[in-house]
């Protein structure tokens, strides 16, 4: 559910194991991914890197009896295959439940059909909780992705014509992220009290009189070549490999590893009454395994990186974001 441009070393930047070229991710967070999917200035983040060698040395004892869990995702990926394989070795049987949607993974989790989901960042999760009076909560962080402005016709931001249409996600969390990116690129100005959920209504200056087409984040990458659109704002990992589009093709990249992107850290989420399930401790060890890190690198080539954010920090930020979402 992703961002770029370089800034001074930050705690979040220090939390990742590298900064390499990015391609595709099967999360959503995102995402959103993705979801999905999706992450504020001046906040001190304690985000130590997931060092595969250290994690492997830590090991993690397997339970006497295997634990089985169902985890909803937005699409299948080789990375998930690696997670499942390593988890089985540690006594955790994972059934990935593929749901071609960015709402169902949360509604299915809230209904108890699955035990957790792995597709979204905490900003997207906060919007869902606020809109549905739900109590879904993160149990640990997983990945963070990067977003940017892409165009099939413009070679630079200056090439975007006055009155041009730009596609942004239609959900509050990802749509807000897209607007923040457009502001960082100098194309628009947002109100000072925009919060973490800026909307088109928060635009206070739009010199080019740009028009914004709001569509589902999951489909924006496929609209890249739509002749009616001058540009799209989306995560670089959302593009299919067949499109041959990478971060190098972006007109502008968000700063994915800056402190302001904490809300866009992807998580494993579950219900409040299931947050102490011993499965999550095992699964966290799995994500720290060097083989899982290698699978992520092979699939995403540095565009999506593993991060380890203290769970209490995630939950504190989630609560803050839920309060903001409730006001919108």
Q: What is the pLDDT of residues 227-280, one digit of tens each?
A: 999 999 998 888 888 898 988 899 999 887 677 789 999 999 999 999 999 999
Residue 294 forms part of a structural domain: yes
Rounded to 5 degrees, what angle do the CA atoms 279, 280, 284 make? Answer: 120
Q: How many CB atoms lie within 10 A of CB 107?
A: 15
What value does the mean pLDDT take over residues 34-41? 35
Residue 247 CA to residue 153 CA, distance in Å, equals: 16
Residue 258 forms part of a structural domain: no
80 three-class SS: helix
Of 226, 253, 280, which residue sits at a domain end? 253
What value does the mean pLDDT take over residues 51-57? 39
Residue 5 forms part of a structural domain: no
Q: Is the Cα torsion angle 195, 261, 139, 87 positive or negative in sign?
A: positive
Helices (H), the chain: 11-14, 52-58, 78-89, 104-111, 122-132, 172-184, 217-220, 278-287, 290-300, 311-327
Instruction: Indicate if the pLDDT at residue 120 is higher than 50.
Output: yes
Q: Please count the structural domains in the chain.
A: 2
Determine how β-strand 203-205 pairs with β-strand 252-253: unpaired
Of 253, 276, 310, which residue sits at a domain end? 253
pTM of the complete model: 0.69
State the residue range of the domain holding 87.
Answer: 11-145+264-327
Rounded to 5 degrees, what angle do the CA atoms 275, 266, 182 make? Answer: 145
- Residues 38 and 9: beta-carbon distance below 8 Å: no
Residue 207 forms part of a structural domain: yes
Same domain, 41 and 18: yes
């Amino acid at each position: 559910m992703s961002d770029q441009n370089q800034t001074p070393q930050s705690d979040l930047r220090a939390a990742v194991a590298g900064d390499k070229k990015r391609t595709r991710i099967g999360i959503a967070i995102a995402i959103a991914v993705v979801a999905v999917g999706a992450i504020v200035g001046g906040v001190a983040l304690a985000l130590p890197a997931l060092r595969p060698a250290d994690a492997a040395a830590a090991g993690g004892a397997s339970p006497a009896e295997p634990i089985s869990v169902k985890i909803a995702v937005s699409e299948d990926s080789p990375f998930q295959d690696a997670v499942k394989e390593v988890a089985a070795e540690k006594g955790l049987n994972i059934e990935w439940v593929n749901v071609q949607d960015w709402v169902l993974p949360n509604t299915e989790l809230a209904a108890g059909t699955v035990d957790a989901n792995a597709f979204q960042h905490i900003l997207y999760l906060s919007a869902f909780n606020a809109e549905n009076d739900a109590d879904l909560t993160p149990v640990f962080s997983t990945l963070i992705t990067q977003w940017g402005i892409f165009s099939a016709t413009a070679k630079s931001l200056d090439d975007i014509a006055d009155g041009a249409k730009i596609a942004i996600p239609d959900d509050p969390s990802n749509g807000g992220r897209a607007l923040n990116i457009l502001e960082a690129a100098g194309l628009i100005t947002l109100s000072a009290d925009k919060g973490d959920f800026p909307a088109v209504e928060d635009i206070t200056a739009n010199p080019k009189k740009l028009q914004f087409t709001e569509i589902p984040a999951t489909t924006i990458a496929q609209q890249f070549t739509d002749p009616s659109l001058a540009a799209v704002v989306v995560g670089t990992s959302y593009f299919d490999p067949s499109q041959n589009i990478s971060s190098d093709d972006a007109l502008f990249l968000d700063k994915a590893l800056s402190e302001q992107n904490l809300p866009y850290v992807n998580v494993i989420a579950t219900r409040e009454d299931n947050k102490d399930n011993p499965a999550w401790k095992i699964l966290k060890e799995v994500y720290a395994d060097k083989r899982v890190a290698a699978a992520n690198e092979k699939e995403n080539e540095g565009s999506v990186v593993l991060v380890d954010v203290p769970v209490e920090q995630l939950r504190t930020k989630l609560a803050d974001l839920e309060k903001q979402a409730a006001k919108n």
